[in-house]
Structures are given as C-alpha cells and as structure tokens.
Amino acid sequence: MAKNQPSEKQRSTGDLASPFRLISQVRQQRVRGMFAEAKRITAASKARRRVLGSMMKQAGIELATIERGHQREWELLVRQAARQQKAATALLKQQRVRERQAFRTVMQHRERFEYRKGNPHTSICLWRAILAPDVVVNVQTFSDGIAQLTRQPETSFRTGDNTIRIIAETIGSRVHGFHLSPVAAMELTTEHSFEGTVPHDGVLSVTTTFAPLGTIFLGAPGDCVVTPSAGAEVLLYMRIIINPQSGLGFELPFGDTITIVDTDVTASCNGASKLIVVGGTHAVAHQLARNNAVEVHGGDVVRVIAGYDMHIASGLGGVTTVSFFPRPLGFNVPMVLLRINS
C-alpha cells in the first residue's frame, strides 16, 4: 500500500517527528539546489552548443552525428544493465535461501533467543508485524522531470516475512532545445509496525533486523554539452513508542540511522551507469539497536516502527530505478527483538 504525506511519522506528537521532517527538508533543499544547478548548466550549454555546432560545421561534421552516437551508447548501457540485473536477481534469490536457512536455525533454537530466566531477564522475538507494511511517497519535480511508482506496491504479512515490494523511478527527461532543466526526486519511507507487551519491570533494549533484497540502477546518458546525473540514498531507521496501561503513551527521541546506500553517477561525453545490489552482502541481514533505551513497567505495550527511508533523484536526462520486485525481492523487516533487564 502506498500513501502520500502526512504519514505515521508525522502523526506523533510535539517535536518527535522533527528528525524526519529535517531529513526531508534537507533533501528537498538539495534537490532545489540540483535544479538551480541544472538551470545554470542548461543556460551555459546553449552557448556551448552554438560554439560546438559552429566548429563542427566548419569541419564538415553535423552535431547530430555525435548525438546519435550518444544515443547508441545509452542503448548499449541499458542492455548491459538489464543483463547485470538479471544476474543480480539470481544472486539475490540465493541470498533469500540463506535468509530462510538462518530463520529455520533461529526457530529451531528459539528458547536460546527468547531468554526468560535470571534477575529477571526476558527476551521477546517479534516475528510478525501487527499490520501489513506500507510506504509513504513524497515527490519533487521540476521542468517536466518524472517521479513515479511504476507499479503498485505488494506486501507479504507473515512470520519472518514482513515485506513490501516496490518499483519506482525518477527521470530527468532529456533536454529539448534547452528550454527546460528537468530534475526529479522521490522520497519513499516504508513502515513496518511491531508490538509486544512487557512482562515485568525493567530497562528496555530494542534490536531490529533488516533484510532488503533488490537493485538500484543509476544511469546518465553521455552528452558533450550537458551533464546528466542520477543518485540514490537508503537509510534504515527505528522508532520506539511506549504505551502504558494507564496514561498517555510517549515516543522516545529519534535515534541513530544506518546508511546502506549513498551513491551517484554523473555523465560527461561518455555515459555513466551503476547497478547497486542491495542485500548481496556476506551477512544475511543488517541490525539497528537501541540499548538500555528506557525504563518500562509490566503491562506496558512497546510499539516499534522500523523501515527503509529512501531518496532517489535524477537530472538532465539521468535515470534512477529502484527495483525490489518480484518475490522474493523486497524490503523486509523479519524480526524485532525486545530485551527487558531488571
């Protein structure tokens, strides 16, 4: 399920949502700067194109000849990227097999992970979200730039598989006569919600596991006049909300995030491209932890909202495609671990 702002992250009270707003505002300012730069480049490119065209005409060569060469090179880049993505998908399917094996190992020895002895000490594994994950989408475009979900998100909602599958893209449409400076950006934030009840008084620690599987394609067609670009950033985040048996609930201050992707490409006369494989690492998952986060009491309900915060952008002909589809690919949060120490 996809939805536009305002999101769950904006429904919390006071300044608790401000870190998300600040991250979004910083990105929006960055995109506005990107658009300002694109306008400057486009204006300067008009003069360069006239000079280049005049020089080539004197040499008996049409500028369109070079542009056709750029187009052929771009078509080759796209074909290469398609082959790379096919190979990456095969690797990611193998990674999914490793994830499932790790899941089976944990379930076979579940009593060792869900420790319930000691002073007391309790560990609780939350394997299934309380509702299907969704995604919040925020789009920012200038001068006919394109930002879109190319198919509606699909979700899985079962033990160890709390996944949303997405295909999205931003396109800085090719410049037509240098009348436009196209720039497009999209922010996508997935939300995976888990809840557990505290069995006794103690100090709460939370660890969330993330298991993404997918690819991100960054492409920038070659151009000797303008400089197409594309980029992507992916963060992991976690929010913790405490709902006592009586009284108002409260959310903990926003904690650390983990950046798993932060890459961009820029073309010159030669095109540039990069296929980022997300999830093809040696480990089967990433983890984000908040240790000794807050005191809790027996009966308190702990709600953990975790997910992926993505930002993709393209300018002056660049293309960015986020492909986390079909199954078994997707943005998965398989498990949240609650630990209560007295």
pLDDT in tens, 96-113: 777 777 777 777 776 766
pLDDT digits over 133-155, tens only?
999 898 888 878 899 999 889 99
What DSSP state is assigned to residue 120?
A: T
Kindly state whether residue 3 falls inside one of the protein's structural domains. Answer: no
Q: For the chain, how many helices (H) and strands (E)?
A: 4, 15
Could you read off the pLDDT of 221-234 as tens digits, one per residue? Answer: 988 778 889 999 99
Instruction: Give residue 45's pLDDT band: very low, low, confident or very high (50, 70, 90).
Output: low
Any domain includes 195 = yes
Q: Name the phi and psi angles at 267, rounded to 5.
A: -90, 155
Could you tell me what percent of the chain has a pLDDT over 90? Answer: 46
Query: Roughly what angle, to the nearest 10 degrees, separates helices 18-58 and 63-108?
Result: 150
Q: Is residue 132 part of a domain?
A: yes
The confidence score (pLDDT) of residue 279 equals 87
In a domain, 61, yes or no: yes
Residue of 2 and 256 predicted with greater confidence: 256
Structural contact between residues 240 and 249, judged by C-beta atoms closer than 8 angstroms: no
Which residues constitute the domain of residue 162?
15-341
Whether 191 maps to a domain, the answer reads yes
| Residue 143, pLDDT score | 79
Is pLDDT above 90 for 14?
Answer: no
Rounded distance between C-alpha atoms, residue 73 and residue 271, angstroms: 7
Give the tens place of pLDDT for each residue, 267-294: 988 899 999 999 866 666 899 999 999 9
11 pLDDT higher than 60: no
pTM beyond 0.85: the answer is no
Give the model's pLDDT for residue 107: 73
Tokens of 155: 């979700």
185, β-bridge pairs: 140, 313
Q: Where are the alpha helices (DSSP H) in the chain?
A: 8-11, 18-58, 63-108, 110-113
Q: For 339, list phi and psi in degrees, rounded to 5.
A: -125, 130
Count of structural domains, the chain: 1
pLDDT of res. 165: 96
The per-residue pLDDT for 164 is 97
Average pLDDT, stretch 193-197?
96
Side chain identity, residue 117:
K
Q: Is residue 9 part of a domain?
A: no
- Whether 119 is covered by a domain: the verdict is yes
Residue 102 lies in a domain: yes
